[in-house]
Amino acid sequence: MKASTIAKTVCAVSLSALCVVGITACSGNSTSGSKGVGGVAATVNGAEIQEEEVTASVESIRSQMSLTDEDAWGEWMVKNNYTPEKIREQIIDDLAFNQLIIQGADEKGIEVSDAEVQSYVDDTKQKYPSEDKWQDALKDVNMTEDDYRAKLRVGLLSQALLKTFGSDPSDEDVLSYAQTYISSFDGAKRSSHILFDADDAETAQSVLDQINAGTLDFAEAAKTYSKDNSGQNGGDVGWDKLNHFVSEYTAGLADLSKGQVSGLVTSSFGIHIIKCTDEFHAPDELTSLDQLPSEFVEQFRSSLKSSNQSKAYQQWLSDAKESADIEIKDMPSGLPYDLDMSKYQSDDSSDSSSTDGSSSSADNEVSATDDSSASSDTASDSGDSETKKAA
């Protein structure tokens, strides 16, 4: 199992929207479901990581990977060249990033209000059909709602902290970036549409006939008849390379050249009349941003800025951890994930686990800190959200 897979497995899909750098096993400051030994497991610049928090993270991993059975857990550790001590150390290592994020945000005066956290909680809860289903989902990842709030708070602090890094790229940097990626935008089409209800084919056909006859302007028809908010902009939904349209819409647009209008195109959103309003063909040599549609330039600028921010943030995290005063306490006895590993080890597995570097793959698996999680959003923010869905 790959590192990114285990990170996503540990965090239940519906609860993982804000599982960003430093959020280990979706535990936040979780102590729910942990059992056994308490006390301080480690300190990070004086801030304490509780043993119960480490245990809760490990138990969450076991639950998500269906390794709650003692023998299954022991066999998995042997197979992946782990020991309970090594797992504890890696979980503490990940939880240390949480503390560094909190401390870094505090140094920069970044705060997250209770209302902001609750807003995210409420949005997530709405995805579940009932309170019982919501509580079941929390139990599946060994959490309470308070634990989830704690996780969200660190995630939101991380997002806010990320935005303080990096700088706005220069036009020269954007041009260089565009020169690298512009070929993938060749053949892009911009379009407008008029959306009708699925049971209103008669009106749709009448409007189409008038457009084709030249007695009704497309943009004016969109303002009058379209059922989504793009109608206020003459039906414009932007460039296909910057959006994700439903397949029926994409197929209908593919047959059009600039200025052409489609027939009636039916999708799950209703009936569309599509007009191709522009086409882009990549120049043989890109020497100026003026050669590109402004939307492409802004997308390249945004992507480059996000990439720069991510790199700078990851470097800060690495440097902060390198310079931090991190003290890991001795592992206490009686932890629920601690086993006598000798009963699971054969001679071959013992030899394998003692080989330097042999556990690098497994090391990644147990870690829920994903360096790629502070990633850039590459989807365009242009246009109305309802329009994007309908288109």
Radius of gyration of the chain (CA): 27
Domain boundary among 231, 248, 281: 281
Does 17 score more than 60 pLDDT? no
**22 lies in some domain:** yes
pLDDT of 35-85, one tens digit each?
457 899 999 999 999 999 999 889 888 888 899 999 999 999 999 999 999
Q: What is the DSSP letter of 177?
A: H
User: What local confidence, expressed as pLDDT, does residue 30 receive?
Assistant: 43
Inter-residue contact 20 to 307 (CB < 8 Å): no
What local confidence, expressed as pLDDT, does residue 60 receive?
Answer: 84
Note the pLDDT of residue 24.
Answer: 34
> What are the pLDDT digits (tens) for 283-320?
999 999 999 999 999 999 999 999 999 999 999 999 99
Please tell me the predicted confidence (pLDDT) of residue 349: 53
Asked if residue 181 has pLDDT above 60, the reply is yes
In angstroms, rounded to a whole number, what is the distance separating the alpha carbons of residues 237 and 136?
A: 40
Domain-ending residue, one of 251, 281, 311: 281
| Residue 15 scores a pLDDT above 80 | no
Q: Is 265 exposed, middle or buried (0-12, 13-18, 19+ CB in 10 A)?
A: buried
Same domain, residue pair 71 and 158? yes
User: What does the pLDDT read at residue 362?
Assistant: 45
> Dihedrals φ, ψ of 42, to 5°?
-165, 165
**Does 270 map to a domain?**
yes
- CATH number, domain with residue 355: 1.10.4030.10
pLDDT, residue 345, reads 77
**pLDDT at residue number 365:** 46
Alpha-carbon gap, residue 239 to 223, rounded angstroms: 20
Mind listing the pLDDT tens digit for each residue in 93-150? 999 999 999 999 999 999 999 999 999 999 999 999 999 999 999 888 778 899 899 9
pLDDT value of position 351: 53
Whether 270 and 352 map to the same domain: the answer is: no
Query: Is residue 156 domain-resident?
Result: yes
User: What residue numbers bound the domain in which 266 lies?
Assistant: 187-281
3-state SS class at 365: helix
209-251 pLDDT, tens digit per residue, is 999 999 999 999 999 999 999 999 999 999 999 999 999 999 9
Question: Which residue has better confidence, 384 or 97?
Answer: 97
- Decide if 217 is inside a domain: yes
Residue 286, domain member (yes or no):
no
Mean pLDDT within 190-208? 97
Rounded Cα gap, residues 162 and 164, in angstroms: 5
Secondary structure, 3-state, 201-236: HHHHHHHHHHHHHCCCCHHHHHHHHCCCHHHHHCCE
* DSSP secondary structure, 83-123, as one string: -HHHHHHHHHHHHHHHHHHHHHHHHTT----HHHHHHHHHH
Query: Residue 110 and residue 105: Cα distance in Å, rounded?
Result: 5
Q: Based on the domain organization, do 81 and 148 belong to the same domain?
A: yes
pLDDT digits (tens, 9 = 90+) for 328-351: 999 999 999 999 999 887 755 555
Beta bridge partners of 276: 191
- pLDDT tens, 344-378? 877 555 555 444 444 444 444 444 444 433 333 33
Are 120 and 191 in a shared domain? no
Number of C-beta neighbours around residue 372 at 10 A: 11
Structurally, the chain folds into a number of domains equal to: 2
pLDDT in tens, 243-292: 999 999 999 999 999 999 999 999 999 999 999 999 999 999 999 999 99
- H-assigned helices in 49-200: 51-64, 70-79, 84-107, 114-125, 131-140, 145-162, 171-181
Whether residue 295 is contained in a domain is answered as: no
**Range in 89-93, 326-330, 385-389 the model is least confident about:** 385-389
